[in-house]
Structure 1
Amino acid sequence: MPLVAIQPSYGNPAARRHWRDTLDKEVPFATGHHKTALTPAQLQKLLASHPTGRARFWGATAAQDRNMQRLRTGDVVLFTGGKLVRGIGEIGETLQNSAFADTMWSPDPTNGSWHNVYSLLSFQPTEIPYAEVWALPSFNENDNFMGLRILEGEKAEEVLQGLDIGTYTDLQNKIARDIEVASAIAAGTRIVPVEGLHTTASTYQRDARQIVVSRAEALLVREYTETLGGVAHRRLRTPAGITDIHVSAPGSTEIIEAKSSSDHSYVRAALAQLLDYAPHSPQPADRLAGLFPTRPADSDVALLHRYGIDCLFRSEPGVFERLEAPPAAREHMRVAWTKA
């Protein structure tokens, strides 16, 4: 499980200059004064992750030495500022080198060089309001993320799942696993359990590296929750994952799972997740619903209804329709929903 770093990066003129110089564009580290500031070992290390000789970079001063020593390739960084997560990146290589840092950023007058340098395997500009992070179970409203913060374990997983972040390293690992399984089947050999694999992502190379930050579901959830008025809702962390919407009204509890498509595979995924979440609700759920951007096919609505699950869909901007499951099916399935 990767760590997640929350990195303030846009709150003052110096940070905005750093953003402009080393996040908005790649740095040609393998040429000129950048190259001469690197040790041979550091240059070799960077070229292994960035064979084009160019990469995006960020840095931290000596005050963050201890935190920076925890970060590794594949960890995720949320770059924050002005009430927004303005970008999400995946760490490539980390190194300590004041001379190299100083070729990119002027030293801080108080804290000195930004000598804790890390490159980014991938970077995606975003405009995610802090409110979407605050909605996650482990965060508090009005947390303005002052200072570098490193999250691990459940908190890190919560951010990755809650913001729907898929990393380049994850993609490589999945492809490496597919290669292992396909090779074993083709050769007629035993398939090694995933925890026994030592294959690294280097078995697959791809020029266009991208961290994927899916926003469609988050925007659909935001639009739908605006229609709830004063009805209490939140996101709930369960052993099965984080719910998209957990609605609590007097005498009623509903769990809603949002999907970015109304295609059959997405309807099936929503069905599976809802049945997985339901037994973990603190208050027994009396309704489950899938939330979709358009009306699913009749056969997919029937699939949800078979399991007592309502179908919510966006019929026009700001307007959602509910296709209710038959009451008999809902009552029959509630036994399974609420069974601990």
Structure 2
Amino acid sequence: MTVVVIQPSAGNAASRRRWADTLGQEVQFIGPEREGRLSEEQRQQLLELHPSGRARFWGASSFQNSKMARVHFGDVVLFTGQKKVCGIGEVGVLFDNAAFADTLWTPDKDGSWNNVYSLLSFQPTEIPYEEIWALPGFNEGDNFMGLRILDDGKTKAVLQGLGITPSTSLQQDLAREEEVARALVQGTQVVDLENVRTTRAGYQVHERQVLVHRAEALLVREYVNSLEGCETGRLRTPVGITDIHVTGPDGTEIIEAKRGSDHRYVRDALGQLLDYVVHSPEPADRISGLFPEKPAEVSIALLHRYGVDCLYRQGPGSFQRLPAPLETREHMAKVWTGG
């Protein structure tokens, strides 16, 4: 299973220099300067994943050996510093090699950054810590000091809550698609999902993209800032984490935000809301979809048919609510609660 690693990397001048040298740009690992420091196995693994002979790298000191032993190919790394997540990447090839590390980064008082790993994919970001603090299981004021390996619950919260889709997940989806199609065409049985595996060699350069959906997070932030007299947060349910949970004078509300207003986004929001509300640990008085612009009438009608309100952005800091008919919402509330 994928784990999320919190990796401080931009908190001081020395870290920022290392960032500029090996995260801000790809580094040539084939050539006279570095190739001779690699074992043949390490060289082959790197070329298998990075056939250009170039890659982004990061590392951890021997003090972190036990933690780095829990990190594997495809794990997601949040590179942090200056009260934000500055970048998100996926672990590629990981190996212990102080001699190679010393060609990338000058050793400090703790020694070499010998636990080296390449980045399968990398995306610079500007995500404030507040977005992580708002997720279930995290504490406000946590500045994420030191390398940290998140447990399963927090890993799921971060991946869902920050809208992160690893490229390894996309590759697995493609493998699953191919397996099902092959079985249907050939009249054979579909192989269990657990047996559909992808190898490092299956990754092509143009497919190595970790997706970080920021539009929804920004829409949520703007909507929350527009509310007055309400408490907001995110609610953990057995099937996922809500985008917004509001408690105010009109009761409680679960809101799902989408980065688009096309019918497919409306349908996705509806499905998630109906799933969240029946699994919510506390009853909701209202459920709503939040969109960046007004959806089409047919999409609004779909929401209203299930007692779901439609919220959409009219302009900076301004939102409009199109409420579902009261009679429909009251009827559907019985379905939500099993009453």
Q: Map Cα deviations across residues 125-145 of structure 1 (whole Å, 9 max, x no partner).
A: 000000001010111101000
Shift, 1:281, TM fit: 2.6
Question: 1:60-87: per-residue Cα shift (whole Å, max 9, x none)?
Answer: 1111000111111100000000011000
Partner of 1:210: 209
Partners of 2:318 and 2:148 lie apart in 1 by 39
1:186 deviates by 1.4
Offset from partner CA, 1:5-47 (integer Å, 9 cap, x none): 0001011111011000000000100112111111111111111
Structure 1 residues 275-284 or 166-175, which shifts more? 275-284
Corresponding position of 1:88: 88
Question: Deviation of residue 283 (structure 1)?
Answer: 2.8
The residue that corresponds to 1:61 in the other structure is 61
> 1:302 is matched by which residue type in structure 2?
A
The 5 Å alignment of 1:218-229 reads 218-229=217-228
TM-score where L is the length of structure 1: 0.97
Gaps of 5+ in 2: none
Answering whether residue 4 of structure 2 is matched by residue 36 of structure 1, we say no
Q: Secondary structure at the residue paired with 2:27?
A: coil
Which residue of structure 1 aligns with residue 125 of structure 2?
126
Aligned-residue identity in percent: 60
Partner residue of 1:2?
2
Partners in 2 of 1:118 and 1:199 — Cα distance? 20
Q: What SS does structure 2 have at the residue aligned with 1:276?
A: helix
- Name stretches of at least 5 consecutive residues in structure 1 with no aligned partner: none
- Aligned partner of residue 47 in structure 1, secondary structure: helix
The offset of 1:163, in angstroms, is 0.4
Question: How far 1:280 moved relative to its partner?
Answer: 2.7
Quickly say closer, same or farther: Cα 1:283–1:160, change in 2 above 3 A: same
Gap change, CA 1:332 and 1:261, over 3 Å in 2: same
Q: TM-score, normalised by structure 2?
A: 0.97
Distance 2:170 2:272 in 1: 22
Call closer, same or farther: CA 1:43–1:204 in 2, change over 3 Å: closer
Residues 313 and 303 of structure 1: is their aligned pair in 2 closer, same or farther, counting only changes over 3 Å? same
Pair 27,136 (structure 1): closer, same or farther in 2 beyond 3 Å? same
What secondary structure sits across from 2:34 in the alignment?
Answer: helix
Partners of 1:202 and 1:170 in 2: CA distance: 15
What is aligned with 1:155?
154
1:260-283 deviation per Cα after TM superposition (whole angstroms, max 9, x unaligned): 000011100000000000023333
Count of aligned positions: 339
Aligned Cα RMSD in Å?
A: 1.3
- With 323-332 and 198-207 compared, the bigger mean Cα shift is at 198-207
* TM superposition shift of 1:50: 0.9
The offset of 1:208, in angstroms, is 4.9
Moved more, 167-176 or 325-334: 167-176
